[in-house]
Structure 1
Amino acid sequence: MTFSVSKYGFGAAPIGNLFTAVSDAEARAAVDAAYDAGFRLFDTAPHYGLGLSERRLGAALAGRPRDSYTLSTKVGRLLVPSTGDGPVGRDGQGFDVPADLRRVWDFSRDGVRRSLEESLVRLGLDTVDVVLIHDPDDHWEQAVSEAYPALAELRDQGVVKAVGVGMNQAEMLTRFVRETGVDMVMLAGRHTLLDQSGAEELLPLCDERGVSVVAAGVFNSGLLATHDPSGTYDYAPAPEPLLARARRVAAVCERHGVTLPQAALAFPLRHPAVASVVVGARSAAEVTRNAGLVAEPVPEDLWAELAAEGLIA
C-alpha cells in the first residue's frame, strides 16, 4: 500500500527543544504556520525532548479536524524516571530539557505497545496515523521479530493506518522492506544533494513494492540550509571536501536562479518513491521561509547541469 501524505511535512524535533529551547508559544506558532502553509504530515517521537515534542504538537493540533492531517510518532525508546539523588541536569541527547526522564531502548512487543499508549496520552489523541520503529540500528533481531509484528497487528486491527521504520541509514531500511510488510520508511540524510546512497537500492525497491518514502534531514543537519554552505554535516563539523562539494552545487544553483536550500528541498521528490519531505522548524519564521522555498519552481536544466557535473546521479 502506498500511503498518501502531503508533499511537505513538519518535523517536530526542534519544538522538543533540539539544541535550543523554544517557548510553548513559539512552538505552537511554528505548528500553526506549517498547517496554514499546507503541510499536512506532522512527525514526532518520544525521543524528541523526552516527550516535550509530542505534548506540544498534540496541543497545537488539538483544534484541527482530525482527518485533515497525518500524524506519525515512533517507538523503540521508553521514557522512564531518572534515578539518583541531587539536582537533575540537562538531557544528554541534544535536547534542552530537564533530564527528569531517561530513555531505555525497548523493541519488545510489550515495550512497543506501552510506548504507543504513552505517546497517545502525551499527544492527547485516541490514535495516530503512522507508527515508525525508531533507530533500530543495534536492535535488528528484536525490531524485526517483536516490534514489527506488534505494529502490524495494530494495523490489522485498525488501531493505526500504517507502520514503518525511521533511520539515518539505507541498508537496514532495505532489509525491512525486503523482509517485512512495512508501508513506509523515513530516510534521514541519505537522499540529499550530498548523499544519494538511498537511491542505490532502497528507493528502487520501495518503488517496486509500493512502500512510501519520507525523506528527512534533507539539509544534512545544516550544510545545505543556507546558500553559502557552512555549519555541520550530520551533526558534526563539515569536512572540507563536503564543504567544497556543497559550494560547487550552490554555484550551479546560482546559475539557474535557485538557492541551495531551495534545491535541497526539491531534490528528493524527483524520485517516484519519495512521497514527502519532512523539514524540522522551531519557529513560524523558519516554516514561512521553507514554505516560500518550496513554492518556487526549480528548472529542469538545473538538475541536468548537476548531473553533467557529476554532482548528482
Structure 2
Amino acid sequence: MTPLGFGAATLGGLFEPMTDEQAEEVLEAAWDAGIRYFDTAPHYGVGLSEERLGRFLAGKPREEFVLSTKVGRLLVPHDGPAREGVAGFYGAPNRDRVLDFSRDGVLRSLEESLKRLGLDRVDVLFIHDPDDHEEQALREAYPALARLREEGVVSSVGVGMNQTRIPARFVRETGIDCLLLAGRYTLLDARAGEELLPLCEERGVEVVGAGVFNSGLLAAPRPGATYDYVPAPDELVWRAKRIAEVCARHGVAPAAAAIAFTRSHPAVRTVLVGMRNPAEVRQNAAAAAATVPAELWAELSSEGLLP
C-alpha cells in the first residue's frame, strides 16, 4: 500500500456529478503521482465508482496496485424515474441499494463487484457500515469473508465504518486483518485514539485512515464546508479556522497537518483521500509528502486545538 490512497467515492458522483472523461483524468493523475492504493464500494454511485475504476485499472499491471471494495449493499435496477442526490450521489445509474449482511449476500455482492470492476479478485474486502446490522455482520458476513480469505479469493478482510464501538468488537471478537476508519481520528475528532487504535495496535490490525478532512472542513475551513457529509456546525468551522491560522504561521497547509495527524498513529498504515481533479491530486500528494514541524503540534496543543 502506498502511504496515500485514492478514495473513489468521488468517481460515483459524491456531492456532484462527474463525467467518464473527468474520472479517467483524475485517476491518471493519481497514478502519475505514485498512488497505487484505490478504495471503492458498491455504495459509491450505486456501482458507478467500481465501473469507472475497473475500466481504468484494466490498463494497468495487476501486480502494481492494491484494490479494496466492500460488501453489505446489493444493487438492484430501479424502474421508476431517475433520482438525483440519493445518499449524496449525483449522475449515478438508476439502481437501488439493498442492505444485506448475510452470507449469501456477501458472496453475491463480491461476485457482482468483480463483474463491475472487470477483475478476478480484489486485495481487501471490507464489511461496509453494518451500524444497524451488527450481529448479522459479526455472525454471518465476517465468517463468509474469512472463508474467502482462506480460499485465497481475497488477501485481507476487515470492516469499514464511521464509528468506533462496533469496529472495536470486530477487533476483539474476530480475526480481521484491517480496519477502514472514516473521520474518527482527525484533528477535529480523535475519539478512536482513546481505545480503538491502541486496541488495533495491540492486536496487529492495520488501519486505513479515511475522512481525514472530515469530508472537507479541515482542508477548506469556511462557512458552507461539509463535516461528515453534511453542512458543518459553526463551532467546528471556527475550530477548523483556528487550526488553519496556526498552520499558516508555520507555513504548513491545513491538509498537510490533517494527513500527518491521522498518519502519525502507529496503527495507521495508509490514508485515503477523495479527489475530483488533477489539481486536487497534486495538492493532496504534496500535502502527504510535506514535513510538519514539531512546533506546529506544540502550538496547536498550547491553543487547545490538538485532540
- TM-score, with length taken from structure 1: 0.94
- 2:269 aligned counterpart, secondary structure: strand
After TM superposition, give the deviation of residue 166 of structure 1 in Å: 0.5
After TM superposition, give the deviation of residue 230 of structure 1 in Å: 5.4
Letter in 2 for 1:298: V
The Cα RMSD (Å) is 1.4
Give the one of 271, 286, 300 matched to 1:292.
286
After TM superposition, give the deviation of residue 78 of structure 1 in Å: 0.2
2:194 is aligned with 1:171: no
After TM superposition, give the deviation of residue 173 of structure 1 in Å: 0.8
Corresponding residue of 1:133: 127
After TM superposition, give the deviation of residue 307 of structure 1 in Å: 2.1
User: Is the 2:37–2:66 Cα contact (8 Å) retained in structure 1?
Assistant: yes
After TM superposition, give the deviation of residue 303 of structure 1 in Å: 1.3
Structure 2 unaligned runs (5+)?
none
Letter in 2 for 1:61: L
For residues 68 and 99 of structure 1, the distance between their equivalents in structure 2, rounded to whole angstroms, comes to 30
After TM superposition, give the deviation of residue 296 of structure 1 in Å: 2.0
Task: Encode CA deviations 1:266-308: one digit per residue, 9 max, x unaligned.
Answer: 1111100000100011222211121122222111211122223
- 2:285 aligned counterpart, secondary structure: helix
For residues 92 and 43 of structure 2, the distance between their equivalents in structure 1, rounded to whole angstroms, comes to 13
1:142-161 to 2 correspondences below 5 Å? 142-161=136-155
Corresponding residue of 2:118: 124
1:11-90 to 2 correspondences below 5 Å? 11-84=7-80, 87-90=81-84
User: Is the 1:90–1:99 Cα contact (8 Å) retained in structure 2?
Assistant: no
Letter in 1 for 2:46: L
Corresponding residue of 2:174: 180
2:214 is aligned with 1:220: yes
For residues 108 and 160 of structure 2, the distance between their equivalents in structure 1, rounded to whole angstroms, comes to 19
Runs of 4+ in 1 over 4 A off after TM superposition: 227-230
Corresponding residue of 2:227: 233
Q: Which moved more, 1:190-199 or 1:224-233?
A: 224-233
User: Is the 2:37–2:67 Cα contact (8 Å) retained in structure 1?
Assistant: yes
- 2:16 aligned counterpart, secondary structure: coil
For residues 307 and 161 of structure 1, the distance between their equivalents in structure 2, rounded to whole angstroms, comes to 40
What number of residue pairs does the alignment pair up?
307
For residues 54 and 126 of structure 2, the distance between their equivalents in structure 1, rounded to whole angstroms, comes to 17
For residues 255 and 286 of structure 2, the distance between their equivalents in structure 1, rounded to whole angstroms, comes to 11
Q: Which moved more, 1:59-68 or 1:71-80?
A: 59-68
- 2:86 aligned counterpart, secondary structure: coil
Corresponding residue of 2:192: 198
Identity %: 62
After TM superposition, give the deviation of residue 101 of structure 1 in Å: 1.1
Structure 1 unaligned runs (5+)?
none
